[in-house]
Chains A and B, each alone.
Chain A
Amino acid sequence: MRYLFSAIIVFLIVLISCDEKPCYEDMDTFFRIGFYTVEENQVVDSVLDSLIVYADGSNFGLIFRNTKTIYSELSPNSDTTLFFLTLNDNNGDDFIQLGYNRKYHLVSHDCGFVTYFENLEIIESSDYFIDSVVIVNDVVNDVNQEHIKIFL
């Protein structure tokens, strides 16, 4: 009987001590693009010397150097995002306009909500240095997966 009550006391302490916890979850969601070329009927990675990415409506541009993949965030307050891409400091830009549905997702009750982007589609793209664009994953809900392949 004595052990039973000791166990109950421990049980109660555990029960009442697990409400508020700090947030340890990853709260980022990145849209990721990979760059490729086709050489002798083989798809190979294309390493870019430099690429400047600017999203219409945002205040900042992103500069990537010696990279074969880039990432950015889709607009959290619109169902479309228009990206301008400048390759190797050329004067000409390409653009890609993406459409999607925004969905709010509770990561945990300690962390709060993030925006997931679903049903990703290419509304329009230009062909200054881009050959073609293919969607390989139409849900943006983490930081690692590639969503679009751009063939140069």
Chain B
Amino acid sequence: MMLTRNILKYSYSFACLLLLFMPALKAQETDPLKSVQEDETRPVGFDGIRVGYDFWNFAEAYMVPPKFEQEIHGDVFISPRTLLSVNLGRTWIERKKNNFIYDAQGSFIKAGIHYNTFPEHNNILAIGGRIGHSAFRHEATNITIPLRDSIWNDVTTARIPEERMNATWLEVCLTMHVEIFANFYLGWSIQGKVMLAGPRDNQMTPYEIPGFGKGNNPTAAGFNYYVSYQIPLKF
């Protein structure tokens, strides 16, 4: 059973890595001159809103079971090289340990500007910055505190009631999107994150801050794998 689970786990990881490479292979196939020529047929300026879904969250939910996150992404060119990018998401965490059960859920928003290093809009390799904000709650139930070599032989049982918190952070991003079919894009994004205003809870550090990462660390890294569709609104 364990062997089967491991094989499935690593097969899934391998498939994710293959998906990761697809945009790069597609980008290498693209002739830059051809792209520029094709680009001349596309209107410069507003060429639609690209909306996407982050499929990396499914892989992460499989490999890090207590966490499940849903994230959607949208961006739009506001100048020939500049993208306005917004991400919205929600995170659920249920971590059952033998000495406590941790529950958390919350929402997050990230917004920022990316600069596309490619001249064309259907291949994007962009660097940028975002600001993120998260509002979430967490609680712990079924807490047991065993006593080792103690004069007391009772086991303490307790509960930490729900606590609501906020967090705000900055991100730097490297993002790649490649048009695989007409208006359909595959892409990934990696982020480095620094906490600006973290949650304060003296009793219990959050396990994970939605949209940011580990709750006990002021810095974090993130990864997304997007499948996106560009809604063709051109004017």
Q: Which residues of A line the B interface, CB within 8 A?
A: 1, 5, 8-9, 11-12, 15-16, 19, 27-28, 55, 57-62, 72-73, 75-77, 103-106, 108-109, 112-115
Q: Are A104 and B203 in contact (CB under 8 A)?
A: yes
CA distance A133 to B51 in the complex (A): 69
B145 → A minimal CB distance (Å): 6
Give the residues in chain A near B28, CB-CB below 8 Å: 1
B203-224 vs A, CB cutoff 8 Å, 1 = contact: the mask equals: 1110100000000100001010
Q: 8 more A-B contacts (CB under 8 A) besides A8-B190, A113-B158? A: A5-B24, A9-B20, A15-B221, A73-B147, A109-B95, A112-B97, A112-B100, A112-B145
A8 → B minimal CB distance (Å): 6
CA distance A58 to B147 in the complex (A): 12
Q: Interface size of B by Cβ–Cβ distance < 8 Å?
A: 40
CA distance A114 to B203 in the complex (A): 10
Q: Are A76 and B99 in contact (CB under 8 A)?
A: no
Q: Are B63 and A16 in contact (CB under 8 A)?
A: yes
CA distance A62 to B151 in the complex (A): 8
Q: Are B17 and A106 in contact (CB under 8 A)?
A: no
Give the residues in chain B near A73, CB-CB below 8 Å: 147, 150-152
Q: Are B143 and A112 in contact (CB under 8 A)?
A: yes
In the complex formed, the residue of A with least CB distance to B204 is: A106
| A12 with B140, Cβ < 8 A, contacts A104-B203, A113-B145 known | no
Q: Which residue from B151, B160, B221 sits with its C-beta under 8 Å from A72?
A: B151
Q: Are A76 and B203 in contact (CB under 8 A)?
A: no
Q: Are A76 and B152 in contact (CB under 8 A)?
A: yes
B39-70 vs A, CB cutoff 8 Å, 1 = contact: the mask equals: 00000000000000000000010011010000
Give the residues in chain B near A109, CB-CB below 8 Å: 95, 97, 102, 205, 207, 216
| A103 with B203, Cβ < 8 A, contacts A109-B95, A112-B100 known | yes
CA distance A58 to B140 in the complex (A): 28
B141 → A minimal CB distance (Å): 11
In the complex formed, the residue of A with least CB distance to B202 is: A105
CA distance A72 to B152 in the complex (A): 10
| A55 with B151, Cβ < 8 A, contacts A15-B221, A112-B100, A112-B143 known | yes
In the complex formed, the residue of B with least CB distance to A114 is: B145
B55 → A minimal CB distance (Å): 14
Q: Are B190 and A113 in contact (CB under 8 A)?
A: no
Q: Are B190 and A11 in contact (CB under 8 A)?
A: yes
Give the residues in chain A near B202, CB-CB below 8 Å: 105
CA distance A104 to B171 in the complex (A): 34
| A11 with B156, Cβ < 8 A, contacts A106-B140, A112-B99 known | no
Q: Are A104 and B160 in contact (CB under 8 A)?
A: yes
Q: Which residue from A57, A75, A106 sits with its C-beta under 8 Å from B203?
A: A106
In the complex formed, the residue of B with least CB distance to A116 is: B203
Residue B118, interface by CB 8 Å? no
